Amino acid sequence: MFGVYVGAGLLLIAFNLRIGVASVSPVLSSIKSGLGISPSTASLLTTIPVFAFGAFAFLTPALVRRTGLHRLLGLTMVAVAIGIAVRLIPSPIALFGGTVLVGAGIAVANVCMPAAIKRDFGHRVGLMMGLYSTSLFLGAAVASGFTVPLMSALGGSWRGALGFWAVPAVVAFVVWIPRMLKSSDTASGPRRDAGAMESPDDLKFRLLFRDPVAWAVTGFMGLQSLSYYAALTWVPTLLQDAGVSAGTAGLLLSYSTFPGIAAALIVPSAIRKLRPTWLPVVVSAALCVVGFVGLLVAPAGGAPWVWMTLLGLGQGASIALSLSYIVLRSPDAHHTAHVSTMAQGTGYLVAGLGPLGLGVLHSAVGGWAVPLTALIVLTVAQSVAGAAAGRERHVLSRT
């Protein structure tokens, strides 16, 4: 029964790991006009967390060694809640500073989650990775779908709408407290928890940066995350520029997560049965490409519902695959932690270029054809990295 509780707690934490970013994009136009900033500057609100996902990921092993894996997961929810609450303060410095704190909390949780799943549910990795990916999408769906209605209910206050999302993080922390207390995080306790995650100066961690399997997993994680966060940030604005209302644009973004949930739930359990191993990677990339092309050619009317369905399916499968490969290409929880640090640390530093790059391109050319074309090219590169990551072998293995 305690195992069910731990699983539920992990999924509740996962639910919060995209809310801090997904809640911003539907009201990005309101933030931009309210603060009088350019599109590229506004995009920093979704770019900063992604860069933080990478930068703070490398601090996670040392934090785990000091605090313990499960206690640290609980503390990440405190950081996320405080960061979101800080954005309520009517100051641009507070808005961007709170965003950094949100990104830092999510970054640490991102790295810890695969190691926790490998450790606590090593016998049900496929099921838990599917549920984990599903929770990520569900959190993004709820945040992107309800932020605009919340803003309307709060008299047009986008700060209040963003601040509301501290509540799920607080709930996750409260629910996780019994697991934090059960962890023996005093005296020798942190070292036992840290057995799954040692210092990044550890020899095996450094060797990963010369390992082709680790780089394939990292490249796939980075490129699919770049595509995901770029779309998450700018698709609502693209749709609004095509004449779609802000509410409908947010609804479309929220809707796309539901086919994503379906794909994320199914793919991790089916991945070992699909042949050839590159098939799910190529299919997921193809779905994303068709979705992007559709948004480029027919971004208005009823067509976007089709494009967002395909994009949701492709992104859901890609995210689930990238997270699953972190676990599947690692022989044990110890290696999973190292691969998770490398893949998410380096990968998210690359991914942060997506929202910022699209914003810069859009500002430079004044349209969406060039930015979407760039995303399509990068999605093709994503499929190449994913095909390499999909080969059945472990990191630091000679076979």
86-103 pLDDT tens trace: 999 988 889 899 999 999
Pair 42, 166: CB distance under 8 Å: no
For residue 75 the two structure tokens come to: 């503390």
Give me the chain's average pLDDT, please: 86
| Crossing angle of helices 44-55 and 333-351, rounded to 10° | 150
| Residue 334 near residue 196, CB atoms below 8 Å | yes
CB distance 245 to 373 below 8 Å? no
Cα 141 to Cα 231, 239, 258, 260, 305: the distances in Å are 14, 17, 7, 10, 15
pLDDT in tens, 311-355: 999 999 999 899 889 988 888 777 888 898 999 899 999 988 888
Q: Within 13 Å, how many C-alpha atoms sit on residue 337's CB side?
A: 25
Segments in the chain forming alpha helices (H)? 2-15, 19-22, 28-35, 39-42, 44-55, 60-67, 69-86, 92-120, 125-153, 158-163, 166-182, 189-193, 203-208, 212-241, 246-270, 279-297, 303-328, 333-351, 353-365, 369-389
- SS3 call for 368: coil
Structural domains present in the chain:
2-389 (1.20.1250.20)
Each residue's pLDDT tens digit, 201-224? 466 678 888 899 999 999 999 999
Q: How confident is the model at residue 237 (pLDDT cuts 50, 70, 90)?
A: confident
Q: What pLDDT was estimated at residue 397? A: 77
Cα gap 181→29, rounded to integer Å = 43
Residue 77 has pLDDT above 80, yes or no: yes
Reply yes or no on whether the pLDDT at 60 is more than 70: yes
Can you tell me which residue has the tokens 């929810």? 77
Pairwise CA distance, residues 388 & 319, whole Å:
16
The rounded distance, in Å, linking the Cα atoms of 329 and 326 is 6
188, pLDDT greater than 50: no
% the chain with pLDDT above 70: 93
| Distance between CA atoms of residues 59 and 341, nearest Å | 9
Q: Is the pLDDT of residue 39 over 90?
A: no
Give residue 190's pLDDT: 44
Identify the pLDDT of residue 205: 76
Q: Higher-confidence residue: 380 or 35?
A: 380
Structure-model confidence comparison of residues 198 and 385, the more confident one: 385
Higher pLDDT: 35 or 235? It is: 235
Measure the CA–CA gap between 318 and 315, rounded to whole angstroms. Answer: 5
What is each CA distance from 165 to 109, 217, 392, in whole angstroms?
A: 17, 31, 39
Predicted model pTM: 0.81
Confidence of residue 47 (pLDDT cuts 50, 70, 90): confident
Reply yes or no on whether the pLDDT at 197 is more than 80: no
Q: Name the residue with tokens 């029964």.
A: 1
Query: Which region, left, alpha or beta, applies to residue 36 given φ > 0 means left and ψ of -120 to 50 means alpha?
Result: left
pLDDT band (50, 70, 90) for residue 183: low
Say what the pLDDT of residue 189 is: 43
Lookup: tokens for 131: 């549920």
pLDDT of 398: 61
Q: What is the pLDDT of residues 293-314, one digit of tens each?
A: 999 999 888 899 999 999 999 9
pLDDT at 185 over 50: no
DSSP string, 23-92: TTGGGHHHHHHHHT--HHHHTHHHHHHHHHHHHGGGGHHHHHHHH-HHHHHHHHHHHHHHHHHHTTSSSH
